[in-house]
Amino acid sequence: MSQVGDDRTPEGPEPGASVPPPDQLGEALRELGATARTGLGAAGASAKAMRSLVAADLALARSALGRALAFVGVAIVFGASAWLFLMGSLVALLTTLGLSWLLAMLIAALLSLAVTGYACWRAMHYFDHTRLQATRRQLARLGIGDLADFMPGPGSEESARDAAKRHEQSLSGRPKKDEQGIDVAPP
């Protein structure tokens, strides 16, 4: 058998024996397969991690939305009561200055109506942003949606915004209707 200090193994080739050439293509394919399995496993693990992250983020958002709505409700209640106290104080101040109760309450009501009108005007302005105008114009340029009939094509030099302005001027108060007879919202 082997002696102490001998590096040869009993199953190894004898010294001086010819070694067959390794199967390089087979070995490369095995390594490639192992690498692909490792990569696929890593991609699966990443997908699972992303799924759990999205689920946790949605759960956090849902919880935060509920709490935010609760605090918005509290803010509305206390804001309204504070406004009522302010208007009551204004009426009391105006009556001590010599105005009649009717006139003092009318001034407080007009002030409240002015604030309400301003808030409605600003709300309408911000609701206008919910129409997704830029997205609708770009989709119309691609031929998608109800605005596609009067938007320039994808290769046109005219901008979608200019075409929308031209369309607004050509309407002259008559909204365009779709095939069901429903008014098409302007771009």
Query: Tens digits of per-residue pLDDT, 133-187?
Result: 777 777 777 777 777 777 777 777 877 778 777 776 666 666 666 666 666 665 5
Q: What is the DSSP string of 59-95?
A: HHHHHHHHHHHHHHHHHHHHHHHHHHHHHHHHHHHHH
Query: What are the structure tokens assigned to 34, written together?
Result: 């192992």
What value does the mean pLDDT of the chain take? 81
**What was the pLDDT predicted at 110?**
96
Do 170 and 158 contact (CB within 8 A), yes or no? no
**What was the pLDDT predicted at 94?**
96
CA distance 122 to 124: 5
**What was the pLDDT predicted at 163?**
77
Q: How confident is the model at residue 92 (pLDDT cuts 50, 70, 90)?
A: very high
